[in-house]
Amino acid sequence: MIIYPIKFTPILKEKIWGGNKLNKILGKVSDKSGVGESWEISDVEENISVVSNGSYQGQDLKELIKNHKAAILGSNNFKNFGCNFPLLIKFLDARTDLSVQVHPDNDMAKRYHDSFGKTEMWYIMDSDTNADIVLGLKNKNINPDILDDINADNVKTVFNRETVKNGDSFFIPAGKIHAIGAGVLAAEIQQTSDITYRVYDWDRKDDKGNKRDLHLDLAKKSIKPFYSNERASYKLRSNEKANLVKCDYFTTNILDISENQVVDYSALDSFVIFMCVEGELNITLNNGSEILKKGETALIPALTNKVHLDSVNAKVLEIYID
């Protein structure tokens, strides 16, 4: 196959909570208002990403994998997932708080939806002053039935909130209650799943005056107790990488790049995804190179051995399955 950094056309999603940072900060062009999500790499049904550059331009992700199999995914990933891409890669912009929600693990998702579960992570790219997120319940031993009676008067006593700043990173395992708060722009890496159980939606209504559905019965079955806020502890040094998350479903590192460097992936049996979260860089491998700007994403096929990264000011998320 022809090996080069593969980029895709973003799939932009209007959301009741969406803002304008995807456009103003990341340059996502849309005639829609309230765009809350940019799906960068997706194999979700009816939302299959389409290649936007190079030799495979116009092919969708599913076609690309069917044609090249392990050369794209890696041998072990192809064995485990077949022609399905195992991760969903997004940028999110919250003008107002997202609904408080929880996702099922693999077992529950398989039982109720014939799907994978949804473990995810966030990297905070931009945040307004005092912006925060919901992470878990304030009382870790609280009876899940409390979720049946949440309202504007008691909501502050139920959910734990964590103030965030640029560069923070959080791991959100399946079963953990969570919500991105108003004023937060984040990169999100997750299993390929679009299953969300909505717990509380701040009593808001859509443009037709209707409240969005809640999914309390399923949410209560999926909730698990977690005793950490799962904020990554890392020190980022120039021209080195630091680990943010390492779990069964993905590994995410952050690289601070201020000079030309070569990354050797010959021992890695996986695709690699780069998400540029600051600055811009040039990615060169085998047959081609691409400029990756802040807010852009590239897929590096698993067949790749060495990647040349060149920048004076870039921070990049490096994602793969180990």
Query: Which contacts (CB < 8 Å, 24+ apart) does range 278-282 have?
Result: 278/125, 278/313, 278/314, 278/315, 279/311, 279/312, 279/313, 279/314, 279/315, 280/311, 280/313, 280/314, 281/257, 281/309, 281/310, 281/311, 281/314, 281/316, 282/308, 282/309, 282/310, 282/311
Residue 88's region, left for phi above 0, alpha for psi from -120 to 50, else beta, is beta
Residue 140 token pair: 């870790």
CA 45 to CA 84: how far, in whole Å? 10
Can you tell me the distance from the alpha carbon of 27 to that of 51, in angstroms, rounded to the nearest whole number? Answer: 18
Non-local (6+) Cβ contacts of 77 within 8 A are 70, 86, 269, 270, 271, 302, 321
C-alpha dist (Å) from residue 151 to 72, 145, 201, 203: 47, 13, 10, 8
Burial annotation 230-255 (CB, 10 A radius, 16+ → b, else e): bebeeeeeeeebeebbeeebbbbbbb
| 95 is known as an active-site residue | no
CA-to-CA dists, residue 179 to 10, 102, 137, 160, 303, angstroms = 23, 9, 12, 10, 37
What is the rounded distance in angstroms from the CA atom of residue 286 to the CA atom of residue 54?
A: 13
Instruction: Give me the catalytic one of 95, 111, 161, 198.
Output: 198
Residues belonging to the active site: 198
